[in-house]
Amino acid sequence: MRALARTCGAIVVALAWAGQPATAQDPTAGNAQGQLSVTIYNGGQALVQDIRQIAFPTGRSRQEFPDVSAQIRPQTVSFAADGTAIVEQNFDYDLLSPNALMQKAVGETVTLLRTNVATGAETRERAKVLAVNGGVVLQIGPRIEVLRDDGMPVRVIFDKIPTNLRAKPTLSITVDSQRAGTRPATLSYLTGGLGWSADYVSLYDEKAGTVDVQGWVTLNNSTGTTFDEARTLLVAGTPSGQAANSRYRPTPPGNLRRAGTETAPREQLGDYYLYPLAERTTIANAQTKQVSFLDVSGVPAQKIYEYSVAGFDTMTEPRSAASVIKFNTSAKGGGLGDALPAGTVRFYQRDLRGDPQFIGENSIGHTPMGSELGLATGEAFDVKVQSTVVKRERMSPRIWRTSMSYLLTNARAQPVTIDLVQRGLDWYWDDTRIITESQKSERLDSDGTKWRVAMPANGEVTITATFETRY
């Protein structure tokens, strides 16, 4: 196929329009879509509803609907028009292109127009296309010739467009109409290639302890079709059975610290929130479009450092803690006051000159209003953690004791707070308990415990603990 593409790319393809059959589609025709409504889901799928004015004759007729999505799911098509019934439907997705023209011309006769580079003289020959397997094989009179990919000026002139090649993706429906006349017909279908996600631009002010958040709806259209002046409704949710080409990603572990219990002031459809665009919009093919849906300033936020030790282990060198920004989506207490669709949150912070600089990003899942979020923006340069196994001893055939030491260092000129988490307390259903500790910890779950450590500026703190594991 690549060889054929190179060959077709080296020639100029022309059509003898005078010989074109009346049923062929005119590629110069304008957009045939009617009144469009598009419902777009997060998972790269959309529901398209297209109302067109159709002139129906009495009895059976074949109605063609060009400008449908090239990724239409034909089995989901629904057609409704007063006084008509569907007999049959077909989706023609073999689109007009030089490659397709040559492939459809196998067994047919075409005209080769060659130009002499030296003299400019043109010669014409009739040739029968024998094959296009890895190249174009022609029969010209008694000889067999391969159309060469040598850059020489050659035009292949086709007598007609094959009836099963379309300039645009086209759905054809055979209907049986009880009466003649022009009336609206509604075409509905599901399509892949059209999805949306949320992108958030967040400006963090460390001194003020606040964050400004602007939310953008990001639409992506790879359907092969432009949807003109569509009434657009976005659904924040992922219904079962969706296409796999989704920008949605599950929430990374720990980003949603606590799920909210507040209902957002938005329209709902079942278990999903709806985000309608205020005006009709054109969603062009191969386009990314952004529309603002959230703009909140001065939301209380806190930066904290976090490090999780996976098990009882001695680190050969100190490791960086994660820099985490925490805020909430509650409508109470100055939070964001909205439910957040799944997407990517990008954080910026002003430098000494007042210019906003990018400091990191993270993703969130669908987040209810009233939730607490903690998003890691990257690894800290100046805040390090090093764990050491001080002693490990067997107390009895089923009991082990492990003494751990954690050295936390802060090279920043300001005090910081770090959440130090020890994981691996429930390894293979073993029971691990803390016997002694230098600072009181908070048990997170059966597998982990956390120390919240206040670190002095340009200083260090050592946390010690002894764990008893029963097998």
The closest of 82, 52, 76 to 66, measured between CA atoms, is 52
Q: Calculate Rg over the CA atoms of the chain.
A: 33
Show contacts of 390-394: CB within 8 Å, 24+ apart. Answer: 390/464, 392/312
Express each pLDDT in 359-410 by its tens digit. Answer: 999 999 999 999 999 999 999 999 999 999 999 999 998 899 999 999 999 9
pTM of the predicted model as reported, rounded to 2 decimal places? 0.72
| Of residues 300, 319, 299, the one with CA closest to residue 309 | 319
Q: Which SS3 state, helix, strand or coil, does residue 361 take?
A: strand
pLDDT bucket at 127, cuts 50 / 70 / 90: confident
CA distance 185 to 200: 40
210 pLDDT higher than 80: yes
What is the 3-state composition of the chain as percent helix, strand, coil, each rounded to the nearest 5? 5, 60, 35
Average pLDDT for the chain: 86
The C-alpha atoms of residue 407 and residue 388 are separated, in whole angstroms, by 8
pLDDT, position 300: 96
Least confident range of 146-155, 386-395, 444-453: 146-155
The SS3 call for residue 7 is helix
Mean pLDDT of 339-352: 94
State residue 245 phi and psi, 5-degree precision: -85, 65
**Eight-state DSSP code of residue 288:** E
H/E stretch holding 219: strand 210-221
* Spatial distance between the Cα atoms of 105 and 102, rounded to a whole number of angstroms: 5
pLDDT at 19: 37
Per-residue pLDDT of 234-288, as tens digits, reads: 998 777 765 444 444 445 557 888 899 899 888 888 888 999 998 999 999 998 8
> If we measure between CA atoms, which residue out of 40, 442, 433 comes closest to residue 220?
40
Residues 420-442: tens digit of each pLDDT = 999 988 875 678 899 999 999 99
At 107 the pLDDT is 83
Question: What percent of the chain lies above the pLDDT cut of 70?
Answer: 86
What does the pLDDT read at residue 153? 67
Phi, psi of 6 (to 5 degrees): -65, -40
Q: How far apart are CA 294 and CA 43, in angstroms?
A: 21
Tokens of 420: 């130090």
Structure confidence at residue 466 (pLDDT)? 97
d(CA 269, CA 247) in angstroms, rounded, equals: 21
Beta bridge partners of 258: 372
Among 128-137, 298-307, 446-455, whose mean pLDDT is lowest?
A: 128-137
Provide the pLDDT for residue 147: 79
In terms of Cα–Cα distance, which of 339, 326, 334 is closest to 262? 339
